[in-house]
Amino acid sequence: MKETQKLNITKSRELYEEATALVPGGVLGARKPTDFINGEYPIFLESGKGCRLIDVDGNEFIDYLCGYGPIILGYREEEVDEAVYQQIRDKGFCFTLTQKFQNLLAKKLKELVPSSDMSIFLKTGSDATTAAIRIARAHTDKLKVMRCGYHGWHDWCVEMKGGIPSKFWEDVFEFRYNHLDHLEELMAAHGDDTAAIIMTPFGHPNHQKMQPPAPGFLEGVREIADKYGAVLIYDEIRTGFRLSMGGAQKLYGVTPDLTVLGKAMANGYPLSVVTGKKEVMMEAESRLFISSTFFPNSDAFVAALKTIEILERENVLEKIWENGGRLMEKIQALIDTYDVGAELTGVAPMFYITFRKDETYAYKAKRKDFYTQLIRKGFFFTPFHHAYISHRHTDIDLELTLSAMDETFAFIKEKYQ
């Protein structure tokens, strides 16, 4: 079987070379070429609509990254964008004081999210997780933090420690998802001084297989938090408004004290929130300071309210679970047929294809070939992050994706036989 022809990404590469003299690394964070497959993926995009992207060289892709999660409906969702345009045009969105949409969205969250009594609105996931930790420390008058999962780029949680004095993260301890005994050991040593346990309620570790909670795991963490008087925080930046309208806590039936939400809540507009129980959230009234010039901007509030309206009105998450479940079932059938060491994990709204590790490290080559063939065929996945399903993925899109995966698994089977 022949390899798929390599993409023409000449303009992307030219823009990147220009960018390296203007921006450290050319582009920041998880958008660097090395976070995909260098030389195979575009680096600059031109436009998007629905579930499709076009890069600066004119290549078109069916997208499964969804902006790393915010796009729950689709790119350039007309009803959401029009609501924002109208707000900007008719009323404005950046003022010294707050507009009514803060209250409307806080009430909607209280209706949907089990842990939500009161809310504080911010811009990014890192803003929200850091604010949640500050609130928890103020509420408990304790210092230490137990963490599980990725929680952003701020000093206390970022994996790369360059530029950060050790004092900013030395009181933060990481425990493994679905390993309750590990958390129990850490809390036996540090529990009396632990302010917060922050975790992703669904396991989506960086570059690794995804994990649903094992029976009793979330309940056990809840019990440990209560035993030591720690604030339990769910980082639902990815799972909120995607696994269910009330997040993973609604799906799995375990309620934290605080929740952080973002990404899919506003379909791409910058908005995050810390929401939680009144007795904890009220610490933010007078005991600590959380503020930004742009936190009250109403454009993203309007986008979130319209996004949630559409999600409810069109039963979007029910459809995503149905479509994603059907897609995963057929992907698993391909994996079983070709038996090349691929593994499928996750749930219907967000899933991941990895390759089993082996002593010869052939899994790395297979992974590279798999995702190289897919991007060349016009399907935007990445080897190092899970995929998402959006509302605008059609049956035709999913069938085209399965056909491309069928060809790609066949190619790998032949190459590594």
Residue 367's CATH number: 3.90.1150.10
pLDDT at 28: 93
Note the pLDDT tens digit of each residue in 371-392. 999 999 999 999 999 999 999 9
pTM beyond 0.95, yes or no: yes
Q: What is the mean pLDDT of the chain?
A: 97
Residue 5: inside a domain, yes or no? no
52 and 169 housed in the same domain: no
pLDDT at 1 over 80: no
Q: What integer pLDDT is reported at residue 122 of this predicted model?
A: 98
Report residue 347 as tokens.
Answer: 């749930």
Domain boundary among 313, 337, 355: 313
> How far apart are alpha carbons 243 and 202 in whole angstroms?
9
For residue 20, what are the domain limits? Answer: 10-75+316-415
Shared domain for 150 and 248, answered yes or no, is yes
pLDDT of residue 417: 83
pLDDT digits (tens, 9 = 90+) for 37-69: 999 999 999 999 999 999 999 999 999 999 999
Residues 253 and 125 in one domain: yes
- pLDDT at residue number 361: 86
User: Of 313, 341, 364, which residue constitutes the final position of a domain?
Assistant: 313
Provide the β-strand partners of residue 273. 121, 261
Asked if 49 and 157 sit in the same domain, the reply is no
Whether 83 is covered by a domain: the verdict is yes
d(CA 408, CA 403): 9
* 213 and 93 inside one domain: yes
Task: Determine contact, residues 295/105, Cβ cutoff 8 Å.
Answer: no
DSSP state of 269: S
Do 354 and 375 lie in one domain? The reply is yes
Q: pLDDT digit string (tens) for 145-195?
A: 999 999 999 999 998 999 999 999 999 999 999 999 999 999 999 999 999
Rounded CA-CA distance 62/42 in Å is 13
Q: Which residues contact 360 (CB under 8 A, 6 or more apart)?
A: none
Least confident of 1-10, 93-102, 210-219: 1-10
pLDDT of residue 237: 98
Mean pLDDT across 250-274: 98
Strands of 144-148's sheet in order across: 118-122, 272-276, 258-261, 231-235, 194-199, 144-148, 172-174
**Is position 186 within any domain?**
yes
In a domain, 290, yes or no: yes
Proportion of the chain above pLDDT 70, given as a percent: 100
Structure tokens at 335: 């994996």
**Of all residues in the chain, what percent carry a pLDDT higher than 90?**
96
Q: What is the DSSP string of 162-229?
A: TT--GGGTTTEEE--TT-HHHHHHHHHHHGGGEEEEEE-SSB--TTS--BPPPTTHHHHHHHHHHHHT
- Answer yes or no: do 137 and 64 share one domain: no
pLDDT digits (tens, 9 = 90+) for 70-117: 999 999 999 999 999 999 999 999 999 999 999 999 999 999 999 999
CA angle 289, 295, 301 (to 5 degrees): 135
Q: Is residue 4 part of a domain?
A: no
What local confidence, expressed as pLDDT, does residue 360 receive?
86
Please identify, among 313, 328, 343, the residue that sits at the C-terminal boundary of a domain. 313
pLDDT in tens, 283-341: 999 999 999 999 999 999 999 999 999 999 999 999 999 999 999 999 999 999 999 99
Which H/E stretch holds residue 252? helix 247-252
Q: Does the structure show a pLDDT above 90 at 414?
A: yes
Residues 32 and 105 grouped into a single domain: no
Residue at 28 is within a domain: yes
Cα-Cα-Cα-Cα dihedral of 6, 10, 13, 19, to 10°?
-160
Q: How far apart are the first and last CA of the chain?
A: 12
Q: Return all residues near 333 (Cβ < 8 A) that are at least 6 apart.
A: none
Question: Is 2 inside any structural domain?
Answer: no
Report if residue 166 sits inside a domain: yes
* Distance from C-alpha of 7 to C-alpha of 376, rounded to nearest angstrom: 6
Q: Are 385 and 63 in contact (CB under 8 A)?
A: no
State how far the Cα of 328 lies from the Cα of 344, in Å rounded to an integer.
Answer: 8
Q: What is the CATH number of the domain that holds 271?
A: 3.40.640.10
Asked if residue 276 has pLDDT above 90, the reply is yes
Give me the number of domains the chain comprises: 2
